[in-house]
Amino acid sequence: MSRSDPSTGRPLADVVVAGQTEVDLAVAVGRTTFDRGAWSNVAPAERGAALLRLADLVERDAPLLAAIDSAEAGKPIRECLEGDVGAALEALRWFAGAADKLYGATSVTVSSEVGMTFREPMGVVAAIMPWNYPMAQAAWKIGPALAAGNSLILKPSEWTPGSALHIAALAIEAGIPAGAISVLPGTGAVTGSALARHDGISAISFTGSVGTGREILKAAAGSNFKRVSLEMGGKSPQVLMQDALTFGDRLIDHMIDSAFMTMGENCTAGSRVLVHESIADEVTSRFVDRARSLVVGDASDQSTDIGPLITEGAARRVRGLVERAKAEGAELLLGDEDVSQRGPNFVAPTVLRLERQDHEIQRTEVFGPVVTISTFSSENEAVALANDTDFGLAASLWTRDINRAMRMARAIEAGVISINSYSEGGMSAPFGGYKQSGFGGKERGMDAFEQWTQTKTVWLQLHGDGSA
């Protein structure tokens, strides 16, 4: 299949679609590598050293990798260089350091028995990745899967295979055996489905839509009951209490990042602003003014804040959601700027004010530069609005009252909650969601190894009384 630059429409490359034959071959090679111990039996500290070498090579090629992601995904080049490269390096280096820290345990029992647990790699595993953070997502999967000793098959999005292919080549240069990491470009319907159904794959990690996640679960159940971990997006609230404006420009800056980073094509995007009625007018005015200053343009331009959406179809879908919201009574505060001259994939930063929560746009993950603003009058109402969604990946909460902050953080149904910031947390903290945002595992931190390892219990019965 062919791929074009979302900014310009210019052809980029023809992408091979790996089918069942290529999947079978990759699984067979990965299994042979695993069984021979070429990677799985390497000392954990040596696996960590190889991942550190890989990180150094990624850092060496950072400008190229950033340019690949920017061209393929339409991500602003500044964002790729300043954010995505650092995220990929942090992940690779953190999991390199964790490789020799996967400890087992011993059971407390009588002196004639010893119970031991060992954490072992799953074998041949697969990861199906999205297109919005190609380089960073590849590192999130590669880091724990390889640190644990698995053979990993990566399936990047058909829209953004370039950085994953390059990182796989760098892995070979770093001394990681070829069979320990494979990259299979292709579509979800063909390549992804073949991976999900394959009996030779012991675990699969997926980041993407709820609909595709359901299909992967069905395929796993219909094959070998492989372990499945799903991260499936969100509808994250930004909750601003009465004192939120005391944070000044920092509040508005974080709100803008939360809402519009990666054009809103971000699973933790704060697409629902929930603001206390006493400060709603000022917050709305300052937020809209700041959003109006964002630069829409070619992703390769260093001055661009908002690049194109991934496809023309995605842009049409987002514009349709906005038009239907307006028809249902939502007030358009920003977004009437015509950016069609830039190309069919562009959507201007858009802000809607609404109070009804049954709008389609309030229930659906938009995955575009669109934000809704609603008001509340009490803490309980704020929590109820924040939880009024099928998703539960992330939320941000702004207040200087630490008691209120902790009370609300415990009450909001989301896997990652940032207080007085927009943040997904550091690499040492687990990342994953509640409800339809997450299933079966976490990314990042030591919890990430749960996806890629299995626990074995060894029970030893001692004999003899110890006499000579």
Q: How far, rounded to the nearest angstrom, does the alpha carbon of residue 108 sit from its chain's CA centroid?
A: 39
The phi and psi torsions of 324 (rounded to 5 degrees) equal -70, -35
Q: How many CA atoms lie within 13 A of 64 on its CB side?
A: 12
3-state secondary structure of 123: coil
CB contact at 8 A, 46 and 146: no
User: CA–CA separation, 263 vs 269, rounded Å?
Assistant: 9
The phi and psi torsions of 176 (rounded to 5 degrees) equal -85, 130
> 468, exposed or middle or buried, with CB in 10 Å at 0-12, 13-18, 19+?
exposed
Residues acting as catalytic residues: 231, 267
- H-assigned helices in 261-366: 280-292, 312-327, 360-363
Residue 407: CB partners within 8 Å, gap ≥ 6? 379
User: CA–CA separation, 235 vs 10, rounded Å?
Assistant: 33
User: CA–CA separation, 328 vs 416, rounded Å?
Assistant: 32
SS3 string of 336-373? CCCCHHHCCCCCCCEEEECCCCCCHHHHCCCCCCEEEE
What letter represents residue 4's amino acid?
S
What letter represents residue 285's amino acid?
S
Write out the H or E segment, with its range, that includes residue 30: helix 20-36
User: CA–CA separation, 51 vs 14, rounded Å?
Assistant: 30
What sign does the CA torsion over 181, 438, 345, 189 have? positive
> 143, exposed or middle or buried, with CB in 10 Å at 0-12, 13-18, 19+?
buried
Q: Which two tokens stand for residue 353?
A: 């004010």
